[in-house]
Structure 1
Amino acid sequence: MTELQVERVLETQLDRHAEVTAAMRDQLPQVQAVADELIRRLAAGGVLYTYGNGGSAADAQHLVGELIGRYLRERRPLPAVALIGDAAVVSCIANDYSYDDVFARQVEALARPQDIVVGFSTSGTSPTVVKGLAAARANGACSVAFTSRRGQDLAAAADLAVVVPADETARIQEMHLLALHLISELVDRWAAGTDHPKTVESP
């Protein structure tokens, strides 16, 4: 490609990112609802369990890092577990049962009614994510889906859902990251107190 063609490709990607970001304003009530429910359950002694596949697995781990570590403010660590990090457990379930059960089996074992289970799926059709949220609801825990407009069935099956108004995987993942940062901001303010000084961010 010529330099001009490369520039146009990059500008098109940035323009589309900005377009979807603006459209996410319509999802702010859902983002706030997820944050409010997460705060309510953490305050009552609940735990966040979260998971996803591929890039969505990274989002799940990112969210856990923001809770156990911190987002911007110094505060107590908050209980959160990513269900994708234990290779022995994941491979055991995949080998002895099915890969489709790798999250559902863990949720069935761990999630209690006071807990909240968050599944990330750009497509909204991943069997592992669908079955994991079904297990959460069966256990009486709150089920939350982060998905896209391709995942309306998953969103409808969850107690709460953040639905990105896009079809492109890259844009969906970018908006999931934005949403989890917005949620982390609200959780931070609750856990640290709104008048707590912001700490210096670490790399």
Structure 2
Amino acid sequence: MINAIQEQIKASIETKEIVLKDEQLQLELVKLVEACLKSLSVGGKIIFCGNGGSFADAQHLSAEFTSRFMFDRAPLPSLALGTNSSAISAIGNDYGYEFVFSRELQSIATSDDVFVAISTSGNSKNVIAAIEVATEKSVPTYAFTGANGGKMKSMCNALCIPSNDTARIQECHILLGHILCGLVEKQYFAG
């Protein structure tokens, strides 16, 4: 059992070491940080979405902005799509689950916002539909995905984690998300 635990930890470390060496991925994260700072400076908000574990990550990262991350400060406007259970059930029932994020995004997003779509496969239909809405509304859009990026890679700025293992991808998504939150918070409140 100890060997199995150690193998999982080693696999996580190995994936993060590849991310550490991937300057292109890091440059995409810099672009996302800059987009968030620009958005916040003009009154925009940071919007996240995802399914399952990615939904949990979307809520987690949004909460880091609206509460606090590294230090006490004013809240930053952010939300995760799909957290209104009445809306998600109504949209799912009336239009189909494929539209639960896109309908909500259509109602609240402006071009001053930033949209962060999270999907380990990069192929989640409801997330892709939301990216299409964000594109129509000229919302700067970024995706956290897995190794090949799926369909999302060609649709927006993609931060592709170099792994096909869902657990490793999600571990790196939250790592990049925490880096994002920390850098935005530090830069935004630097003055």
Q: Name the structure 1 match of 2:127.
A: 129
Contact 1:73–1:192 under 8 Å retained in 2: no
Q: Name the structure 1 match of 2:92.
A: 94
Contact 2:47–2:116 under 8 Å retained in 1: yes
Q: Name the CA distance, whole Å, in 1 between partners of 2:189 and 2:69.
A: 10
Match of 2:37 among 36, 39, 43: 39
Gaps of 5+ in 2: none
Q: Name the CA distance, whole Å, in 2 between partners of 1:126 and 1:144.
A: 15
Q: Name the CA distance, whole Å, in 1 between partners of 2:59 and 2:129.
A: 19
Contact 2:123–2:150 under 8 Å retained in 1: no
Q: Name the CA distance, whole Å, in 1 between partners of 2:175 and 2:123.
A: 22
Q: Name the structure 2 match of 1:22.
A: 17
Gaps of 5+ in 1: 1-5, 195-203
Q: Name the CA distance, whole Å, in 2 between partners of 1:110 and 1:58.
A: 21
- Percent identity over paired residues: 32
Q: Do structure 1's residue 12 and structure 2's residue 7 form an aligned pair?
A: yes
Q: Name the CA distance, whole Å, in 2 between partners of 1:179 and 1:62.
A: 12
Question: What TM-score do you get using the length of structure 2 for normalisation?
Answer: 0.95
Q: Do structure 1's residue 119 and structure 2's residue 114 form an aligned pair?
A: no
Q: Name the structure 1 match of 2:180.
A: 183
Offset at 1:185?
1.1
Q: Name the CA distance, whole Å, in 1 between partners of 2:6 and 2:172.
A: 18
Larger-Rg structure: 1
Match of 1:83 among 81, 87, 90: 81
Q: Name the CA distance, whole Å, in 1 between partners of 2:37 and 2:150.
A: 25
> Which residue type is aligned with residue 88 of structure 1?
S
Offset at 1:191?
2.5
Offset at 1:15?
0.8
Q: Name the structure 2 match of 1:138.
A: 136
Q: Name the structure 2 match of 1:174.
A: 171
Offset at 1:30?
1.3
SS in 1 for 2:88: helix
Offset at 1:143?
1.1
Question: What TM-score do you get using the length of structure 1 for normalisation?
Answer: 0.89
SS in 1 for 2:180: helix
Contact 1:52–1:60 under 8 Å retained in 2: yes
Which runs of 4 or more aligned residues in structure 1 lie more than 2 Å from their structure 2 counterparts after TM superposition? 150-153
Q: Deviations over 1:131-160 (max 9, x none)?
A: 1111101011111111011324212201x2
